[in-house]
Copies of this chain bind each other. A is one copy, B any other.
Amino acid sequence: MNLKEKKLNSSTIYDGKIIKVELDEVELPDGRHSKRECVRHSGGAAALFVKDGQIALVRQFRYLYGEALYEIPAGKLNYGEDPEVAAMRELEEETGYRAAGSEHLIDIYPTPGYTDEIIHIYNVDKAAFVGQKLDEGEFLNCSFVPAGQVLSMIESGEIKDAKTICAVYAYFIRKAHA
């Protein structure tokens, strides 16, 4: 079955700091027309840093949910930026650790119905402490949590962030198969 949708035209509704919102008109596979609400994003980069069996988690207030969430260190790509470079920058800024190297772990599409964001996730096992340096207006706590406890926090629903769950699970499933 041909599933493809063809773009007919696009109008920009909002062009912000984090997102750009567009309303596109598309032609469906059966020839009819429909609208697509599009949140455009430059992409995200994140680092799963495991140190002596402990995982680096940052706790940050997320305005959209009205609560502080546990997440792995992450941030937004600058346009055209290499995702691995961005992930290592965010790791260093948020935890104070500079990676000695990294491995690609997994890329995820967080919610494909309305955004084009791709979150690129890397694994870091070796890093040296050089000091945390948060962006202006960025407030977060960093802690190292034993890996088994992180799995329990996912199981209990205390960790709900998708990139963090995908990263931790991917890491453990690969370790189990290695």
Please give the residue numbers on chain A whose beta carbons come within 8 Å of chain B beta carbons, in ascending order: 1, 3-5, 7, 13-14, 16-19, 21, 23-24, 26, 28-30, 32, 34-39, 41, 44, 59-65, 68-69, 71, 76, 106-119, 137, 139-141, 151, 154-155, 157, 160-163, 165-166, 169-170, 172-174, 176
Copies of this chain, how many?
2
Interface secondary structure of A, over-half rule = mixed
Taking CB atoms, residues of chain B closer than 8 Å to A17 are 35, 37
Is A115's CB under 8 angstroms from B108's CB? no
Q: How far is the CB of A3 from chain B (nearest CB, A)?
A: 4
How far apart sit A60 and B112, CA to CA, in the bound complex (Å)? Answer: 10
How far apart sit A169 and B111, CA to CA, in the bound complex (Å)? Answer: 17
